Structure 1
Amino acid sequence: MSNAILAPLTQIPPYLQTLNDYEKQAVKHLPEASWHYLNGGAMDEQSIQDNLNQFSQIRLVPRLLNDLSGGSTEIEILGQKFPHPVFLAPIGHQQLFHPDGEAASALAAEVMGSNYVLSTFTNTDLHQLKKENPNKWFQLYWQGNREKSLALLKLAEQHDFKAIVITVDAPHKGIRDRERQAFFELPEGMQHPHTPAHIPLPEITEHQHPVFDGLMQIAPKWADIEYIISQTRLPVILKGILHPLDAKKAVELGVKSLIISNHGGRVLDTSISPLTALQNIKAVVPEDFPLLLDGGIRRGTDVFKALAMGASAVLIGRPAMYGLAVAGALGVAHVLKILKEEFEITMALMGTATVAEINSEYISHK
């Protein structure tokens, strides 16, 4: 990496044509430690590579000569309609990548009609985000107890968020070798308006284990999920589910959707890839139960494959932050535009006029 950090661009140059182009450019706009925080993962980072490689094991099988008149990428999830199935995943601390942080990402999502999932660890106060934007969900990190978690949920209700996404796969931060080697720390004084950057741990005795009797005691349990469902009019979505038995239990408790994710490979290394988990979970939930896939999306063909495997939509994380680092809201919007257009062209070449037509008959496993 160069020691010179480039300022964000104010217009999109012609050499930025793909999400891979944005990744190569983003490294020039970020301090080295922030880059490793964004791009790194847990331990040997095998899950990161698996997330990226999972789509290469699937080949497309197009159907030709179909009439595609009136074609559309529009989808509907939980009663909400979206113009396309590419959403922005929740990512905290976005001012690490651009001074405008979440405000820029939210603006880009609004312009591109993308659903925006705001992280609990936002640097931008909810009051600064456009309340009228219909495409927004709030991601909740458990706050250590029901009272504090419910307070955040009610705040999201007041600001007209349409769903609550509870992240359940990161009760403990992953062991991130690359991040530690880069000596990454959140900047001193970085504001998190709605939660402390580090939730206080419970006191333990000298005979108790700091992980099992400490940190994990303030992690959410199934009873907490059931409680939250009973306390809100909004649909509750769980993010990070990988096991089909957990998926079945979530459905039984009244969870309305799942985001299949291994946290971008940032928490538990060598965990199952989201696409494999999607296939396993699709087999045990009701046919119309919405499953979203998060992890490894870099091309419009990846979006098509995820939907063919049973996803209702996909979320992107790192690619959006590449766009944010390179050109703020303009960069995030361009990243979304690239994926949306690639997906549209893929649909057309595959002979599918609507998202509802995409199914497993259009793919083949190597």
Structure 2
Amino acid sequence: MSEVNSPGSGGRSKVTVDDYHAAARPLVEPSAWDYIDGGSGDEATLRENLAGYRHYRLRPRVLVDVSRCDMRTTLLGSPVALPIAVAPTAFHGLVTPEAELACARAAGEVGALMVVSTFATTRLEDIARVARGPLWMQLYVFRDRAVSEDLVKRAEAAGYQALVVTVDAPVQARRARDLRNTFALPPGLAPANFAEGPADGSSTELAHRVAGRIDPAFTWDDLAWLGSLTRLPIVLKGILTSEDAARAAELGVAGIVVSNHGGRQLDGAVTALDALPEVVSAVAGRCEVLIDGGVRRGSDAMVALALGARAVLVGRPVLWGMAVSGAEGARDVLSILGAELETAMALCGRPDLASVDASLLRPAPWRTASGIAGDGILPG
């Protein structure tokens, strides 16, 4: 994959995801920026998501033919050009008028999977019409099950290929930045997938009212009901323990996204990267395992792949790209991450994804010395 640099803001090319972070910040309204960039509580988990990838060192092998590195894979049977997908994030209209349409176009151009949020600011059918790559639909289960049932049927009819059920948000965490800012959607912006209009005419009232209807009583016993609604495979997003991973696999889910909601739910929760090995071990190949949270470099993606993830999902960086230059910026963010992954694979002597395994990693020296991880090469 060749890297495509966008001129972006101020005419400067962006060569890393962090370049987009810096360029996007002054372009986004401050309270919207805090909504996108912030986490819950003291934001400890948000910070640790980023730091976790520094806990590993790579063990490169040499004299391997890396004249071509193949990043192609499949996700629940759908071919993709790279193991980097777009995570579901709400309200893309906060960063660009093109909203989710820009993201869908960008993902299609690089051959990446996109997961569309229930709280998109564009109707799921309109996103599907412009998409050129595979789409999965993220789903919250609402107290009024008919609302969720309608979303499921619409997604299946529109050609989405899986349902990604968020399971780590039975209630919304306290997010200090949003509370201090009294965060509200701007006039004219609203969750587009709901037919009801706001009682007071404001999009903010609608967003809060719909979010408040997420069902905190949704349990494992309800997965059978959900499965009865659709032929689409079900993925559970927000699993962090071997116990829950094993139960999900036993119930026949097609996939798991190891995730702590980008540090936006339980502050102090284990990072997704630290949870990944136990989840992979618990499912024992019975379902596909993906991960999100904290990926900012292609080498981060390779660490997650080496620990057993089939793909990584990125959320905030794609929003930064869209804030700078719409679909072009989102495409460039995904291209940068893909180019970095391809380079890391070549420099580590790993010409395809099948060769990216746990033998590639060693715990960072400080991590081993502190007793956080054992000595030597990680087990396969």
Structure-1-length-normalised TM-score: 0.90
Work out whether 1:190 is the aligned partner of 2:200. no
Which amino acid in structure 1 is aligned with residue 161 of structure 2? Answer: K
Distance 1:276 1:240 in 2: 14
Residues 1:201 and 1:342: Cα distance change in structure 2 (over 3 Å): closer
Give 3-state SS (helix, strand or coil) of 1:340's partner: helix
Conserved 8 A contact 2:258-2:292: yes
1:1-366 counterparts in 2 under 5 A?
Answer: 13-68=11-66, 70-131=68-129, 133-195=132-194, 196-199=206-209, 218-287=216-285, 289-366=287-364
- Which aligned segments of 4 or more residues in structure 1 are displaced greater than 6 angstroms? 8-12
C-alpha displacement of 1:284: 1.0
C-alpha displacement of 1:69: 5.1
- Contiguous gaps of at least 5 residues in structure 1: 1-7, 203-214
Distance 1:120 1:200 in 2: 10
- Contiguous gaps of at least 5 residues in structure 2: 1-5, 195-205, 365-380
C-alpha displacement of 1:58: 0.3
Conserved 8 A contact 1:237-1:256: yes
Structure-2-length-normalised TM-score: 0.87
C-alpha displacement of 1:237: 0.2
Conserved 8 A contact 1:134-1:162: no
Distance 2:211 2:55 in 1: 42
1:4 maps to which residue? none
Conserved 8 A contact 1:201-1:218: no
Conserved 8 A contact 1:9-1:326: no
Conserved 8 A contact 1:229-1:255: no
Which amino acid in structure 1 is aligned with residue 220 of structure 2? Answer: W
Distance 2:52 2:303 in 1: 10
1:205 maps to which residue? none
Distance 2:108 2:292 in 1: 20
Distance 1:83 1:179 in 2: 36
- Percent identity (aligned): 38
Give 3-state SS (helix, strand or coil) of 2:265's partner: coil
Give 3-state SS (helix, strand or coil) of 2:248's partner: helix
Q: Paired residues, what number?
A: 347
Residues 1:28 and 1:200: Cα distance change in structure 2 (over 3 Å): closer
Distance 1:363 1:169 in 2: 29
Distance 1:189 1:73 in 2: 40
RMSD (CA atoms): 2.0
Residues 1:286 and 1:199: Cα distance change in structure 2 (over 3 Å): farther
C-alpha displacement of 1:287: 2.6
Distance 2:117 2:133 in 1: 17
Conserved 8 A contact 1:145-1:218: no
